[in-house]
Amino acid sequence: MILKYSERLYDDLNRELTNLKLDEKPVFKRLELSILTCIRTLTKLKTFFKENGPRTKAEEIEFFKKVKPKFKSLLIFHQQVLNIESRRPVGDAQAVSDYYLNELKVLTHYFDSHMSFYQYLRTEATHFDEQYFVRDVYPIHLNPYEGIVDFDTSFNTSHDSQVAHILANEMILAYLEKQILGANNKENSDLKTFMEEELVTWTQANTALVENIYGWYETKALNHGKLSLTRISKYMEKVFHVKLDDFFDTWGYISDRANKTIYMDEMKVGILNRISQKLGVRK
């Protein structure tokens, strides 16, 4: 009963959201109404679930693995899009594009942090379903959602919220890709091609960039040496669309290794080889 009801309720929710999308209301108002619609529908789902709960463990697993996350993911998606758009900078296309790209990195970090669970879902595995998607089970060694203690345990499991976040992030990823391409007038392209052709990205190791940063700092190559290491590193992150986590720890690693200037040595060899090739052509 709960599964059939959920299917009808989900169709109604999508129909309402589609109508809101077609409405010519301002984007923030539309997003706010979408969020309220999702909350109202989730409340209906919760009320019906408590009155007509699953009759078997298999039905309970299906509800918390596949049904409830679909509803909650739409709430998370619209809430996140509202947050993203409310923080969007007012400026030229480059500033807007960089902003969306940074939001894209946040998403990528989330997927990386939950890779094992993401793979579990993508491969349609089932061997942990009774730990992930049955109520009153808290598998401490399977990275459960710690926030479950603050929610109604009769309507939550240790991992159904994580499923909802992953589904929402996939929708947000598609949204950000569309916004990035639109900001750069590349609607007919795809994000992978755009990033390969249009963006200047750092493709060497992060340690190599840190070598350069310290080299620029020590030789006063930028602003006559008046920039701090932190400011230079943050600027390079923006320019090359890279994240230099543990910047000072990386410098410690460079200082302790046998060859302190691996990348600079490699760059020197490359320059000398190019000069030799040029001189060889002249001969």
Would you call 184 helix, strand, or coil by DSSP? coil
Please report which helix (H) or strand (E) contains residue 217, including its range: helix 206-218
pTM: 0.72
Per-residue pLDDT of the chain in tens (283 residues, 90 and over written 9): 899 999 999 999 999 999 998 887 889 999 999 999 999 999 999 999 999 989 999 999 999 999 999 999 999 999 999 999 999 988 788 888 888 888 888 888 788 888 899 999 999 999 999 999 999 998 888 888 777 777 788 999 999 999 999 999 999 999 998 998 888 888 777 777 776 666 778 889 999 999 999 999 999 999 999 999 999 999 998 888 788 888 899 999 999 999 999 999 999 999 999 998 888 755 4
* pLDDT given at position 198: 64
- Taking phi over 0 as left and psi of -120 to 50 as alpha, with beta for the rest, 223 belongs to left
Q: Please name which of 131, 115, 112, 111 lies closest in space to residue 123, comparing C-alpha atoms.
A: 115
Report d(CA 260, CA 172) in Å as an integer.
42
- Four-residue CA torsion sign, 225, 228, 232, 235: negative
Asked if residue 67 lies in contact with residue 3, where contact means CB atoms within 8 angstroms, the answer is yes
Alpha carbons 261 and 263: distance in angstroms, whole number: 6
Q: Which of 214, 202, 228, 204 is nearest to 260 (CA)?
A: 214
pLDDT recorded at residue 85: 94
Contact 207/250 with Cβ under 8 angstroms? yes
- What pLDDT does residue 283 have? 44
